[in-house]
Structure 1
Amino acid sequence: MGVVFREANRDEVPEIVALLRDDVLGQGREAATLDPYFAAFDQMQAERGNLLFVGIDDSRAEGARVVATYQLTFISGLSLKAARRAQIESVRVHSDLRGQGLGEAMFADAEDRARAAGCGLLQLTTNKARNDAQRFYDRLGYVDSHVGYKKTLD
């Protein structure tokens, strides 16, 4: 499989949303219409340091397709000796390609991009129900060092 990681294009939003829906949690929380996703993509493009990436498999006879995605946000701050950090979110690999090394390649790509942006830390959160993902992050050397909280704002 020849997967190349690059910044996402607006016309790839439907394929990216399909990846977000392609698991137990995503099926129940992603919207049916694409309009809010296109609006969010446009907003992300307007923000500095908020990037969406795709993994493109161009080795198929049927043509290239989006097989992975992640969002990388760069955050400057004062803590940790004014360390610049990157936050990785919305990590997805197409369900029929999981367990084949694509996730490792995706994280290597994200780590390289974070280092190139001057980041000394790459951080993430994951849903407590994602046991396989947690084992994956552990295997990559990520440390379960913090407790995370979220609050829905109405």
Structure 2
Amino acid sequence: MTDYTIRRARRDDVAAIVRMLADDQLGATRDDPGDLEPYLRAFDDIDADRNQFLMVVASGDEPVGTLQLTIIPGLARRGALRGQIEAVRIRADHRGSGLGADFVRWAIDESRRRGCALVQLTSDVTRTEAHRFYERLGFTPSHMGFKLKL
């Protein structure tokens, strides 16, 4: 990733991040780049939490990818920390370049540096391409997830 920089997202990156979230088969139905206010509130909460890492991969200073890494303390597995990867997106004009794989590997390495015993993520059942992508990176489908919309 020599032409790219991985850094914490800044408040002025939120519009670009939301556009990436919305440029997706599922995000198009639930994210709205035209109304940034709820995203800015969420950004402030994320940015204030020492266990949250909202990251961008930037070309120059322009975000072309994003992900959120959460370090989760827990009692299970002898009090092990877990890294939870969420909302991995690469801007359409940078997909297929290997950038996404490098970015997820960064999150894995960062989880290791922070003492995590494992890294986990979820992926919607309809994202079969994403499933193959994560399996190529060494992830194994091991659990069935459940959600309750509130």
The residue matched to 2:149 in structure 1 has which SS? coil
Equivalent position of 1:45 in the other structure:
47
What's the offset of the Cα at 1:76? 0.8
User: 1:6 & 1:148 partners in 2: Cα distance?
Assistant: 30
User: 1:24 & 1:135 partners in 2: Cα distance?
Assistant: 17
Equivalent position of 1:61 in the other structure:
none
RMSD (Å) for aligned C-alpha atoms: 1.1
Aligned ranges 1:59-138 → 2 under 5 Å:
64-138=61-135
Equivalent position of 1:54 in the other structure:
56
User: 2:128 & 2:3 partners in 1: Cα distance?
Assistant: 28
The residue matched to 1:89 in structure 2 has which SS? strand
Letter in structure 2 aligned against 1:18: R
The residue matched to 2:116 in structure 1 has which SS? coil
Equivalent position of 2:37 in the other structure:
35
Structure 2's unaligned 5+ residue stretches are: none
User: 1:141 & 1:115 partners in 2: Cα distance?
Assistant: 15
The two structures have a TM-score, normalised by structure 2, of 0.95
The residue matched to 1:18 in structure 2 has which SS? helix
User: 1:140 & 1:51 partners in 2: Cα distance?
Assistant: 20
Equivalent position of 1:17 in the other structure:
18
Letter in structure 2 aligned against 1:5: I
User: 2:100 & 2:50 partners in 1: Cα distance?
Assistant: 25
User: 1:125 & 1:88 partners in 2: Cα distance?
Assistant: 8
The residue matched to 1:138 in structure 2 has which SS? helix
User: 2:144 & 2:62 partners in 1: Cα distance?
Assistant: 36
Report the identity percentage. 45
The residue matched to 1:13 in structure 2 has which SS? helix
What's the offset of the Cα at 1:67? 0.5
The two structures have a TM-score, normalised by structure 1, of 0.92
Structure 1's unaligned 5+ residue stretches are: 59-63
Q: Deviations over 1:105-127 (max 9, x none)?
A: 10111011111111111100001
User: 1:111 & 1:37 partners in 2: Cα distance?
Assistant: 25
Is 2:8 the partner of 1:7? yes
